[in-house]
Each structure stands twice: as structure tokens, then as C-alpha cells.
Amino acid sequence: MKIRDRRSTEEKLVHSITIRKEFLNELQEEVQDLKEDLSAGIQKYKNPTEQVLKLTYNDISIYQLSILIGTYSAGYPLEIFKKEYLKFVDSLILIWESNSDYIEMIWALSIGILLDIDDEVFNKLVGLVRKDDPVDYLIDYLIHYRQPDWAIRDDFMFPMHYGTLQKVTETTTSEEATKLLVDYLAKEWYQGHRDSGWYDLHKANIDNYYGYWSFEAGAICKIMGLNPDDFKEVDYFPYDLVVEED
């Protein structure tokens, strides 16, 4: 196992994953209790049991995402990463809303593309998007790759975070697309996510840090047929996923 992250150690990342899995198990046990309470009409909490159950599902998805990313960062084989991805997709299905879980969908679609995930799984994500119907260029672009009949709209839900990626995808030469994508990763991607809970986590509490990766940049590289070696040393680029090294 060769660590992929540049800010932590394999030991710390593995420890972080282990702790998160323990919390995840506790949450899953709590879900079973809440389901039994709901079925029996028992109300143990100030808030309605249904609301508590939904919040617990949300916590599960958050932990599952951090385990997924941590698994990649620590250098686990991609087969293990794929198993965690499938668990993450299942957790996302229970809670996804476009206004609060946008980046989670971007990562889920992007990783699905990078893993060549089967249509059954990918279509679960598409179903969520179709139901909520966010008008967003990047979501549309990613789905269009797997489903060419899917229309791509010009608006972005978060243009300050991802607007530059439209310039990348609409560039006519691979050289210019590569340059724009490298610049985006070097100057915009991380800095543009200051409002995210994981921003600067490696500085605030290294034990909770699980890695920073622009999975959408990897997906765009693959979709456009760019040379992943041009991004191998670029921070935040998930190189192993694009070249499918294990």
C-alpha cells in the first residue's frame, strides 16, 4: 500500500478510517433502533423520530464519504475504494438534496465515471438528479458522458467554485484544456472551497483529516481524453483513479 496523500501519513489516515468505521457502526445500530421505534410508534426524542432518523442517515453519509476519501488518500487498492464508493452511493440515496449535497453528487458522479461503474449504480445517481432537477452545467456534463441524450445546460449552481470548468470542457485543443485545468487545480479549486467543512482540516486537526481531491478534475481529464501524466504532480488530482493503477 502506497500512500497517495501528501499532507499526512499512512498510519494517521488508517487510524482515522478505523475510528470513523467504529462511529459508523454505532450510527447504523442507532438506525435500527429508530426504525423499531418508528414502527412501534415510540417517541423518545424531542424532535419527531422520522426527523431524527433522517439526521442519522445524513451523519452516516458524511462518515461514509470521509471513509471513502480516506481510503483513497491512504493508498488502499482501488477494489477496496470501490467497495466504499458503493456504500457511499447507497448512503447518498437516502438523503440527497441538490441545495445541500451538491459536491457530494459531483464527487459521486465523477468517481463513478473514473471507476467505470456499472449502469445500475450510475443510474441511481441520475435518478436522484432527475428527481431534484438542479440546473447545473457540471452535473449535466458528467451525466451526459454516460447518457449522451442528457441535455447540458449553461447555468451553474456554484459558478464561483466550478465556472472555470466550463471553459476547460469547451476548449478545442487538449493543450489549452490541460493548461486551464492545471491552473484551476493550482489556483482555484482548493481556495474556492473555503466554505466547506473540510477546508484546512489538515491544519486544524490532523487526526480528522482524510484528504483533498478534485475527483471532477480527474473525470474531466478522462472524458476529454487528456494525458493524465500532465497532471501527475499536480496537487488535488486523483492520478491513480484516472490511470487505474492499483
pLDDT of residue 164: 93
At residue 134, what are phi and psi to the nearest 5 degrees? -75, 140
Looking at domain 10-243, which of 1.10.3920.10, 1.20.1270.10, 1.10.1040.10, 1.10.132.10 is its CATH number?
A: 1.10.3920.10
Low-confidence ranges of the chain (pLDDT < 70): 205, 245-246
Nearest-angstrom CA–CA distance, 190 and 211: 12
pLDDT of residue 246: 43
Where in the chain are the domains?
10-243
Choose among 199, 213, 246: nearest CA to 69: 213
pLDDT of residue 177: 98
pLDDT of residue 200: 83
Nearest-angstrom CA–CA distance, 108 and 98: 13
CB 63 within 8 A of CB 20: yes
pLDDT of residue 47: 85
pLDDT tens by residue, 93-119: 999 998 889 999 999 999 999 999 999
